[in-house]
A = this chain, B = another copy of it.
Amino acid sequence: MKKLIPQFLYSSKAAQKFALCFAMIIGGAAEIKAQTKATWIWYPGDYEIWLSNKMQNRRTERGSFFPPFWKLDSHYVLIDFHKDYNLSSAEEAEIAVEGQYNLKIDGKAATGYPKTITLPAGKHRISLKVYNQGSVPAVFVKSPHVVSDTSWLVTFEDKEWIDASGKTSDVSATQYVPAGAWNFNAATSTPSQFRLPTVPQKAVSQDKKTKSILVDFGKETFGYVKLHGVKGKGKVTLYYGESKEEALDTKGGELLDIVDADQQHSGDITLDGSRAFRYVNVQYDGDVSVNDVSMLYEYSPVEQRGSFRCSDEQINKIWDVAAYTMQLNTREFFIDGIKRDRWVWSGDAAQSYLMNYYLYFDSPTVKRTISALRGKDPVTSHINTIMDYTFYWFISIYDYYQHSGDKAFIKQSYPGMQSMMNYCLSRRNTDGLMQGLSGDWVFIDWADGLSKQGEVSFEQMLLCRSLESMALCANIMNDTKGAEKYSALAKDLKAKLFNYYWNAQKHALVHSCVDGKPTDNVTRYANMFGIFFNYFTEAQKQDVKKYVLMNDQVQKITTPYMRFYELEALCAMGEQYYVLKQMKDYWGGMLNLGATSFWEEYNPDKKGAEHYAMYGRPFGKSLCHAWGASPIYLLGKYYLGVKPTAPGYQTYVIEPQLGGLKWMEGAIPTPKGDIKVHCTTNKINLSSATGTGVLRIKSKSKPVCKGETLKSLGNNTYELSIQKDKAYAVQYTAI
C-alpha cells in the first residue's frame, strides 16, 4: 500500500439521504463544466479545531474515556461568507450548507433554505450566513463560473446593522479573511461527515480456545476489530496488545473493549472505536461463540512520494519501518502515537512535519495540525501546557514556510502567533528569562532525574529561535515594527544565553540557572540545538561535539524524540559515519527485539517485557510513536543531502554524504515535484522537477559532468548548478 488513492467515506445515513436528495435537486447541472473547482469552505482554522476535538476525544484507557487535560476550543458558530462576482449571463448555482442559513444576493435574502439560486448577470455579491453549533458552518456553491473556494471572504462578526430609517451601517470595520478549505469537492462530501478510509485486513495467525481467540496481525496495526460469526448472549471482552504479553495480561494491558452480545443468529460485529494493536485477545462468556477475528485498517490517504534505498539492508529495513510508523501516526492530524494518547502534541508534531517533508510533503496535514494546536484566543496556557511545545510551534511555522513557500498560511496564522508570543513574553521573569511558572510543564525529554528547576538554558534557546521565527514571519507580513521588535528581543536573549550559561571550563552550555546562578550540570539538549541553530562559533561547536555529544559521561538520551535532534546535530557537523552506526545500533536494536514500528522510548539496557513498561504501568509505553521515525528525515536531509535554501524549494542544495554506505538512492518530494538522487562512491545521478539547485560534493578528483562546468570551492569541494527537468550524471571520487 505505497500509493494510496485519496478516497473519503461518509458513513452516516443522514449524509447518504442528503446526497440522494441533492442529486435529485440539481439534476443535470453537473454537465456544465466549471471553470474552477467548487469546494466546501469554512472560517479558516475552524474545521481543524473541530476535527481535532473529535480526534483527541477518542482516547480510552482500559475502557474509560481519557480526554486531554488542556483547554479545547471551538469553531465560530455563526459565519458570514461572501463572494463578489461578475457574470456575462445569469447562471443557476447549486447550494449546499452545513447549518441553518440564509442566502442573499446583494444583501436581499431568498426565502427559506434554497438549494439552488439564479445568479443574475453583472457585478453582484452572493453571501450566505450560517449558524451551526455542533459542527463547523460550511458552504458549497457551484455554478459554471461561481464556485465556493478560498477566494471567498468570511467573517464571524459582520457589524451590519441598520438605523431606524433603514439606513445600513458603515461595515468597513468588518474583518474579512479568506475562507478555509481542504478537499471536500462535492456537495455530498460534507465536512462534518468526514472519516478516514478503511480496508479489511486478516490476522496472520489465530489461537482459538473454548472461550477465547488470540489473533496476531503480524505487525503493529490500527483500526476497527471485526468479530465474525458471533452468536449467543454474553459479554465479549477484547484485550488489545502491541505485544503478545500485553494482549494476554488482562489486568495490565492499556486497551480493552467490552461488547454485550445478544445474537440469536450468527452475525458479525464491528467495533465502534478504533484501536492500535498487533494482537487481540478475545474472551467471551455466557453461551457466546465467536468464529473469527479480522479488522478494518484505517489510514490517511496521503501519497508516499519520498523513498530511500541503499547498500545496507538493515538501514533499508529501518527506513521502511520508520515510514510505516509515520503512516500509522499520520491521521486526521500528526499524532504522537496510535495506542495511547492519539493527541496532537506540538513537540511530537514538529518532528512529524520535518519527516513529512521527506516522506509525503502533505501540506494539508501540516497546516491542519498547526492550526489545531493553536486553537483560539485567549491563550490560557502553553500549547499542550508545555513551555517547549509552544516554542516548537513557532519554529515549525517558519519551517513550513521554508519548505512550502506558502505565504497565505503565514498570513492566516500570524495573529495567533502574535497573541501566543504576547503570552510567552508576559511570563518572563525580571531578567527576561522564562522559567516554569505554576501550571507550566517544562518537558524537554523523558529522562531520569532531569532537572526542570529555575531557568533552563534549553527553554531560552527555543524562545530565542521562536523570536527569530516571529521576526521572519513579521517581515513576510510587512510588519516592520514587529520584525524590529522580535529581532531585538531575540538578539538580547541570545546574548544572555551565552553570558549566563556558557561555561568555558565545561566547554558547553550548562543546563540551568537556579536562584540566579548557573548550575554546573551539563546536559545534551541546549548544546545539540545550538549546533543546528548555528548559535555557536566553530570553536564552540567542536568543543560541544567533543565534551558533550561524544562524551559518554553526559547523561544519555533514551528517547527517539531527542535522538532525532542529537543525530541531526552530529550530521550537521559531518558525522554521517558515526550517525549511521548509531542508527543501526539504536533503531536496529529495536528491530532486533521484533519491533514492527518504532517506539516511544528504547533503552538497550532493559530486558524482555521491561521494554514495554512506562509511566509506572507494565504496558504504558507506546510501541508506535511518530517520533521514532526520524531516520526518514536524517537519511533524506543529511545522506541524500537535499534541503531548501529559499522558500518552497525555489532554490535548494544537494550535498550527498554516503556515511559509509556503498550506494544510496531516493526521491525527495517538494511542492512542485520530486528531486531524485542516486549516489555511489564515484557517480552521482540526479534530476529535479523544481527550482534551481546546487549540487555540492567533496571529491578527491575534479568531478566531471557532460556539458556542465563544476565550480571548485577549494578544499576538495565542488559545486554544480542544477536546472529543473534535466538529468545530470556526475563522475567523482568520494573522500
Contacts and interface: CB of A to CB of B under 8 A. Distances in A.
B385 A74 contact: no
B57 A100 contact: yes
Interface string A57-73: 10001111111111111
A537 interface: no
Given A129-B65, A166-B617, A71 B156 contact: yes
Contacts of A617: 166
A714 interface: no
A66 B164 contact: no
Contact of A173 (B100, B113, B439): B439
A437 B170 CA distance: 11
A616 B166 contact: yes
Nearest to A110: B64
Interface in A62-105: 62-78, 100-102
B159 A69 contact: yes
Interface in A564-614: 601, 614
Interface in A147-181: 156-167, 169-170, 172-174
A70 B377 contact: no
A252 interface: no
A660 interface: no
Contact of A64 (B111, B134, B378, B439): B111
Contacts of A156: 71-72
A499 interface: no
User: So how many copies of this chain end up in the complex?
Assistant: 2
Nearest to A77: B72
A19 interface: no
Contacts of A64: 102, 109-112
Given A111-B63, A134-B134, A446-B164, A70 B441 contact: no
Nearest to A169: B441
Interface string A419-462: 00000000000000000011111000010000000000000000
A258 to B, nearest CB: 7
B68 A72 contact: no
A166 B615 contact: yes
A133 B131 contact: no
Interface string A542-572: 0000000000000000000000000000000
B164 A112 contact: no
A420 to B, nearest CB: 13
Contacts of A54: 133
Contact of A164 (B72, B73, B614): B614
Given A161-B441, A166-B620, A377-B378, A71 B76 contact: yes
A697 to B, nearest CB: 43
Given A159-B439, A615-B166, A112 B78 contact: no
Contact of A438 (B67, B110, B113, B170): B170
A655 B438 CA distance: 54
A525 interface: no
Contact of A133 (B50, B174, B446): B50
A70 B135 CA distance: 19
A651 interface: no
A102 B64 CA distance: 6
Contact of A615 (B111, B129, B164): B164
Nearest to A446: B164
A622 to B, nearest CB: 12
Contact of A67 (B68, B71, B129): B129
Contacts of A258: 111-112
A380 interface: yes
Contacts of A699: none
A111 B62 contact: yes
B102 A70 contact: no
Contacts of A133: 50, 53-54, 74, 134-135
A381 interface: yes
A165 B615 contact: yes
A2 to B, nearest CB: 35
Contacts of A65: 100-102, 109, 113, 129, 131
Interface in A111-159: 111-113, 129, 131, 133-135, 156-159
17 contacts: A61-B109, A64-B111, A64-B112, A65-B100, A65-B101, A65-B113, A67-B102, A69-B158, A71-B157, A74-B74, A133-B134, A159-B385, A162-B615, A162-B616, A163-B615, A166-B615, A166-B616
Given A65-B100, A70-B157, 12 more contacts: A53-B77, A53-B78, A65-B101, A65-B113, A65-B129, A67-B102, A69-B161, A71-B78, A157-B385, A159-B439, A162-B615, A169-B441
